[in-house]
Amino acid sequence: MSLEPAMKERITSIIGKSDVVLFMKGNRMMPQCGFSGRVVQILDGLLGEYDTVDVLADPEMRDGIKEFSSWPTIPQLYLKGEFVGGCDIITDLYNSGELHTMLGQKAPDRTVPNIEITPEAAARFREFLERSPDKALTLSIDARNQPSLGLAPPQGSEIVAESNGIKVLMDLGTAARAEGTRIDAVEQNGGVGFRVDVAPNAGAAAAPAGEVKQVTAGEVKKMLDDGEKFEFFDVRTPEEQEIAKIGARLLDEEATKYIETLAKDTPMVFHCHHGGRSQAAAEHFARLGFTDVRNMAGGINAWSAEVDPDVPRY
Amino acid sequence: MDISSQIKAAIENEIADAVVVVKPASHGHFEIDVTSQEFAGKSMVKQQQLVYGAIKDLMAGDSAPVHAVDRLRTKTP
């Protein structure tokens, strides 16, 4: 198998057009794989704009980029036309601050945050860690201050905080948000779970949580009937739109670029199948500074139930 | 030839002096260690690209014999 000249030309043109290009599964709003999502989270924290190519939308591109880069996995990051690496390498470069330098930004603050692990939680973690000696406790706090704990092999570039003899590994973004975090053991459904309290407003780097209003399908119908001016987007896949649609524009790459050109106070409504994906998309745009962002609660499913039974349910 | 041996042969074919150790992990997943003078002066990414380039045919397509390389370590002798 070798790379078609046409595909080679296409890729060369894509990576030549923009300084930062991420080949990924899904797009910035809706990454379709955890590794792509992790890289998007890193890049979103560093850059307002960058290009993405969704390889799931283009099977030839999916194979072509692997061949082009001599790299077997997605995501893949290109900076100024040069291949940088996949998820692990990007995470390492980010944690070490090298990625900041490569993007022409100032070196990050690698201050180790103060966190508290209660003695009860520490005892539980010690048991887990003794059972998996090659793994370490990891903490991740996303831009919305949602925490998650995990056990994973250390990569070597993480920031390491310690409390009650337990080391916690975290990436740079988490470290900036983790000051004052408290981890406790709690009873959960008869077993023991953990509770992570992230100190409010701890991280200067934390993006302001955008405000998303909820609207019902009936309210959206009325807005349409009244001829109210607003942008209406469908966050589902093209395949789902073929099954059922209610006139909203598919939120593809082109629509995303279009939104970026809109005034920040433009009213926007997002819908999907049940309301989950559109909520995530709406939050994304609220974080980008849009002030009138609404999610259609219950999605097109609620539309079929409450507004128009002729719209097929699936 | 089993898949581990195919991986080893493909890498040795591409990188002349490579000393290759392949360890099967779970089904279709492998851990690979390669030692070669070829890596001298190259970045980690360039070193790994050499190895991935050598085994690309084993990783191509949906029914590829190699689904994933869980760990790839490259070093000079």
Domains located in chain B, CATH noted: 3-75 (3.30.300.90)
Is A71's CB within 8 Å of B49's CB? yes
**Mean pLDDT computed over B3-31:** 92
> A20-45 burial by CB neighbour count: b if 16+ within 10 A, else e?
bbbbbbbbbbbbebebbbbbbbbbbb
**B49/A contact by beta carbon, under 8 A:** yes
Same domain for A132 and A164, yes or no, is yes
Is A70's CB within 8 Å of B52's CB? yes
Give the pLDDT confidence score for residue A237 in this predicted structure: 87
Query: Which two tokens mark A58?
Result: 């283009």
Q: Which residue has 């370490």 as its token pair? A: A136
What distance separates the 2 farthest-apart alpha carbons in chain B? 35
Which residues constitute the domain of residue A130? 116-197
- Name the nearest CA neighbour of A208 among A269, A144, A304: A144
Is B50's CB within 8 Å of A71's CB? no
Contacts of B57 in chain A (CB under 8 A): 1
Q: Which residues contact A164 (CB under 8 A, 6 or more apart)?
A: A117, A118, A119, A121, A122
**B1/A contact by beta carbon, under 8 A:** no
Give the pLDDT confidence score for residue A277 in this predicted structure: 85
CATH classification of the domain holding A139: 2.60.300.12
Instruction: With H, G, I as helix, E, B as strand and everything else as coil, classify residue B55.
Output: coil
**Mean pLDDT computed over B41-59:** 91
Is B45's CB within 8 Å of A83's CB? yes
**Tens place of pLDDT for every residue, chain A, 314 residues?**
578 899 999 999 999 999 999 999 999 888 888 889 999 989 988 887 899 999 999 989 998 999 999 998 899 999 999 999 999 889 989 988 899 999 988 888 888 999 999 999 999 999 999 999 889 999 998 877 788 899 988 888 899 999 999 999 999 889 988 999 999 998 877 777 899 998 865 444 434 446 788 999 999 999 999 999 999 999 998 889 999 999 999 998 889 889 989 999 999 999 999 988 898 889 888 888 888 999 999 999 999 999 999 999 99
Pairing type for strands A166-170 and A159-163 reads: antiparallel
Q: Chain B: give the shortest CA distance to residue A277, in Å.
A: 28
Query: How many angstroms separate the Cα of A11 from the Cα of each of A69, A117, A191, B61?
Result: 10, 48, 51, 19
Q: Which residues contact A12 (CB under 8 A, 6 or more apart)?
A: none
Q: Which of A1, A2, A4, A70 to mutate to test the interface with B (most CBs of B within 10 A)?
A: A70
What sign results for the dihedral spanned by CA atoms B48, B51, B52, B53?
Answer: positive
- Answer whether B66's CB lies under 8 Å from B52's CB: no
Whether residue A237 is contained in a domain is answered as yes
Same domain for A10 and A98, yes or no, is yes
Between B56 and A231, where is the model more confident? A231
B70 phi-psi bin (left φ>0, alpha ψ -120 to 50, beta other): alpha
Is B56's CB within 8 Å of A1's CB? yes
Contacts of B43 in chain A (CB under 8 A): none
